[in-house]
């Protein structure tokens, strides 16, 4: 199921499905709004984006109410999440899947929003988008790479090779094609054992991480292995692993994956095209992509917006 592509003059709704907008991040919020307005969009905030009913965030009911309202509102063309955090999974049982199915539209975020991107696709078939959030993507220091990514993907809907943001590295050679799934590794694992985890057989898994160690990467990768996820994949793309990849000599996430998946043989490509504290490509969760780890390419190969 595809959302309509965005166009100049469209209205984007902002929801805080994980951590709220706080007084400390108000300036970033306003800069993010101004940036999107500069791209030609109107921006409206959900009723509960600043709610801290639980002390640390809005209640699950408030979060779901904003998401459901944005999907139901015909004047809203797309939805962008304010930021990530920790508690996005709380609202999943309260989302109105019939409302989302009846009103397909762009839904984008990253980090803890990985939970919603994959769950919405699993529950409804709607292609969602792993890309910048309002506060830390568009409200801080967006680059030309960020600008091109949102315009080429969400307004032009261009089938193309994803532009590299810096050096790419072949970890295991080969090529593969499949549905793009994933996002933040820790947050994706919140869906383990729930009905909200998409079918991963034949998928291309995109993984990034922040504030991890070599040991925690080992733990999470082995959880994926024990869930039966890794053995049926058609490929993995490792994005920016913020913090760990700057540690000289530390065992990296891609090295853990290479060792654990030795019997599987699927291609593994390391990039800096998505993740925390880096520019972000816009990746369609639920649409087919093709990777060639030898040529170091990622290509969007089927329509992801209508």
Using an 8 Å Cβ cutoff, are 305 and 157 in contact? yes
Task: Please give the model's pTM, rounded to 2 decimal places.
Answer: 0.98
The answer to whether the CB of 150 falls within 8 A of the CB of 131 is: yes
Rg of the chain on CA atoms, in Å: 18
Q: Lay out the sheet containing 288-292: strands in order across.
A: 169-172, 268-270, 235-242, 204-210, 175-184, 288-292, 297-300
Among 38, 48, 51, 102, residue whose Cα is nearest residue 73: 102
Q: How far apart are CA 112 and CA 83, in angstroms?
A: 8
Contacts of residue 140, defined as CB under 8 A and 6 or more positions apart, other chains included, come to 28, 31
Domain-wise residue ranges, the chain: 11-155, 169-300
Handedness of CA 95, 36, 288, 292 (dihedral sign): negative
- Please give the Cα distance from 278 to 129 (Å, whole number): 17
The Cα angle at residue 209 between residues 116 and 60, in degrees rounded to 5: 30
pLDDT of residue 292: 98
pLDDT at residue 220, rounded to an integer = 98
Containing H/E element for 13? strand 11-15
pLDDT score for 283: 98
CA atoms of 54 and 283, how far apart (whole Å): 32
Q: For residue range 217-240, what is the model confidence (pLDDT) as tens digits?
A: 999 999 999 999 999 999 999 999
Model pLDDT for residues 18-50, shown as the tens digit of each residue: 999 999 999 999 999 999 999 999 999 999 999
- Note the CATH number of domain 11-155: 3.40.50.10740
Q: Element (H or E) spanning 36, and its range? A: helix 26-38
Burial of 174 (0-12, 13-18, 19+ CB in 10 A): middle
pLDDT tens-place string over residues 83-139: 999 999 999 999 999 999 999 999 999 999 999 999 999 999 999 999 999 999 999
Name which CATH class applies to 169-300.
alpha beta
Task: Identify the burial level of 91 via C-beta atoms within 10 angstroms of its C-beta, where 0-12 means exposed, 13-18 middle and 19 or more buried.
Answer: buried
pLDDT tens digit sequence for 240-292: 999 999 999 999 999 999 999 999 999 999 999 999 999 999 999 999 999 99
Q: So what's the pLDDT on residue 207?
A: 98
Q: For residue 161, what is the DSSP state?
A: B
């Amino acid at each position: 199921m595809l959302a309509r592509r965005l166009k100049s003059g469209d209205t984007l709704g902002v929801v805080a499905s994980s951590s709220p907008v706080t007084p400390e991040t108000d300036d970033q919020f306003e800069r993010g709004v101004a940036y999107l307005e500069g791209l030609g969009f109107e921006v409206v905030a959900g009723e509960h984006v600043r709610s801290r009913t639980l002390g640390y965030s809005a209640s699950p009911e408030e979060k779901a109410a904003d998401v459901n309202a944005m999907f139901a509102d015909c004047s809203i063309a797309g939805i962008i999440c304010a930021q990530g955090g920790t508690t996005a999974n709380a609202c999943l049982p309260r989302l109105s899947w019939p409302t989302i199915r009846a009103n397909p539209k762009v839904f984008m975020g990253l980090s803890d929003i990985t939970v919603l991107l994959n769950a919405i696709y699993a529950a409804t078939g709607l292609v969602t988008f792993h890309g910048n959030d309002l506060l830390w993507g568009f409200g801080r220091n967006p680059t030309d790479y960020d600008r091109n990514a949102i315009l080429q993907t969400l307004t032009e809907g261009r089938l193309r090779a994803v532009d590299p943001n810096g050096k790419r590295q072949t970890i295991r050679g080969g090529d593969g094609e499949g549905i793009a799934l994933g996002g933040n590794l820790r947050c994706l694992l919140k869906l383990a054992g729930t009905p909200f985890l998409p079918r991963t057989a034949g998928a291309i898994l995109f993984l990034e991480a922040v504030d991890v160690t070599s040991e925690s990467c080992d733990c999470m990768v082995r959880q994926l292995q024990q869930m039966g996820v890794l053995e049926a994949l058609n490929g993995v793309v490792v994005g920016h692993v913020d913090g760990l990849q700057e540690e000289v000599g530390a065992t990296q996430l891609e090295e853990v994956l290479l060792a654990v998946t030795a019997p599987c043989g699927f291609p593994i490509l390391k990039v800096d095209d998505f993740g925390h504290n880096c520019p972000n490509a816009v990746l369609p969760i639920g649409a087919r992509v093709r990777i060639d780890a030898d040529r170091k390419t990622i290509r969007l190969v089927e329509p992801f917006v209508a």
